[in-house]
Amino acid sequence: MSVAATEHVRRAPTILGITTGAAALAAAVFLSIGIGPIAINPITTFHVIATQMSGTADAVDQLSRTVVIDLRMPRILFGALAGAALAVSGASLQSLFRNPLADPGIIGVSGGASAGAVTAIVLLPPLGATALGWLIPAAAFAGGLLATALIYFLARPGRSTGTARLLLVGIAIGSGFAAITGFFTFAADDDELETIVFWQMGSLGSIDWAKLALATPALIVGIAIMISLHRRLDMLSLGERQAQHLGLNVMATRGLVITITALLTGATVAFAGTIGFIGLVVPHIVRMAFGPRHRAVLPISAVTGGLLIVIADTLSRTIAPPSEVPIGLFTALLGAPFFLWLVINSKQVKM
């Protein structure tokens, strides 16, 4: 068999995984648009979307258009992007740290974003829903950026520190921000506490087209850059010393991975709150099915992560209508048992 034919055989599972995952994600997005307290059949959903794209939206029922276009489409599309971002970040961090338990929250970005949001909820004066809807994500993103800046100051690549130091610094920073979050949670009144609890459990309910437009460029560019690093991540998964022998600039690559992870995690947490375990669970499922090569792991993790978030969001809107169950509850229900299984079956956690 020729080299080209061998390469073709090796890539077939990857192509199959990407195409199958993308098709499943597209189907889930389309079907999810019609599912909720107000059910809309697929034919009507397709008609509403088609007329909206063609500029003849006046020809459809206004209620159907409002539900499909204004309420559900932006949150579902953001959920698909957020799931992809968290899954890709998790896969990259696990290779960077050579730690099967690594997760986007491990470097402290999620903790910083949460602390920023909770601080804004408690300290800001009473504001209109529109202003509050923008200020909380802005504060969350600022907290995530602050966490990243602290990580670079304490364990920046220029100091030639290993990933163990970076991992420990991230844990310490995350714990510090968790203390800030706990303090403001304690100081919050009843209304603020309700907002804090719901936001920390994760929700796509506040996503509209304006927020989707703001977050989409950062998420798409970040995911694309991370997938383009698949060869470098393959080298890093062998160990820093081995990667250096192969000609990889380990410090530059590590800095780039941390920066993109901060961008993806910060943008997701800023608008949807804390959604846990996607970055932990999805990459492991993909590796078990398609092997460890990041050319397969990263894109398949992206479509799988998006699929899981879309499904979880659909469940959150349908289990107890008209109330909405926080999406983080569903991801935790999936992730917690998997996390325990991973800890029990891991021979060792590399630091």
Question: Which pLDDT score, from 0 to 100, does residue 296 have?
Answer: 93
Question: Which pLDDT score, from 0 to 100, does residue 82 have?
Answer: 95
Q: How open is the CA angle 349-226-102, to the nearest 5 degrees?
A: 15
Mapping DSSP to helix (H, G, I), strand (E, B) and coil, where does residue 17 land? helix
Instruction: Give, in order, the Cα–Cα distances in Å from 36 to each of 32, 50, 55, 222.
Output: 8, 20, 26, 31
Least confident of 34-38, 156-160, 240-244, 323-327: 156-160
Q: Percentage of the chain surpassing pLDDT 90?
A: 26
User: Predicted confidence band at 266 (pLDDT cuts at 50, 70, 90)?
Assistant: confident
Residue 228: pLDDT over 50:
yes
Residue 293: pLDDT over 60:
yes
Other C-beta atoms closer than 10 Å to the C-beta of 319 total 12
231-250 pLDDT, tens digit per residue, is 999 998 888 788 888 888 88
Closest CA to 173 of 100, 94, 113: 113
- As given in the structure block, the two tokens for residue 260 are 């993109």
121-180 pLDDT, tens digit per residue, is 888 766 544 555 677 778 888 888 888 888 877 866 555 555 667 778 888 888 899 999
Question: Which pLDDT score, from 0 to 100, does residue 6 have?
Answer: 38
User: Predicted confidence band at 313 (pLDDT cuts at 50, 70, 90)?
Assistant: very high
Other C-beta atoms closer than 10 Å to the C-beta of 63 total 10
Task: Report the Cα 198 to chain-centroid distance in Å.
Answer: 18
- As given in the structure block, the two tokens for residue 283 are 């990459």
80-136 pLDDT, tens digit per residue, is 999 999 999 999 988 888 777 778 877 788 888 889 888 888 887 665 445 556 777
Question: What whole-number distance in Å separates Cα of residue 125 and Cα of residue 120?
Answer: 9
- What share of residues in the chain are helix, strand, coil (percent, to 5)? 80, 0, 20
Residue 67: pLDDT over 80:
yes
| Contacting residues for 47 by C-beta, under 8 A, at least 6 apart | 60
If 0-12 CB within 10 Å is exposed, 13-18 middle and 19+ buried, where does residue 314 land? buried
Higher pLDDT, 203 or 99: 203
Question: What whole-number distance in Å separates Cα of residue 197 and Cα of residue 115?
Answer: 12
Task: Report the Cα 125 to chain-centroid distance in Å.
Answer: 30
Amino acid identity at 51: T
Please give the span between the terminal C-alpha atoms of the chain, in angstroms, as a whole number: 41
Give the mean pLDDT of the chain. 83
Amino acid identity at 110: S
Q: What is the pTM of this model?
A: 0.85
Question: What whole-number distance in Å separates Cα of residue 261 and Cα of residue 171?
Answer: 15
Question: Which pLDDT score, from 0 to 100, does residue 282 have?
Answer: 92
Question: Which pLDDT score, from 0 to 100, does residue 302 have?
Answer: 96
Phi, psi at 346, each rounded to 5°: -80, 130
Tally of CA atoms within 13 A in the half-sphere of 17 that contains its CB: 23
Question: Which pLDDT score, from 0 to 100, does residue 84 have?
Answer: 96
Amino acid identity at 97: F
Instruction: Give, in order, the Cα–Cα distances in Å from 11 to each of 5, 21, 34.
Output: 10, 15, 36
Question: What whole-number distance in Å separates Cα of residue 109 and Cα of residue 264?
Answer: 10
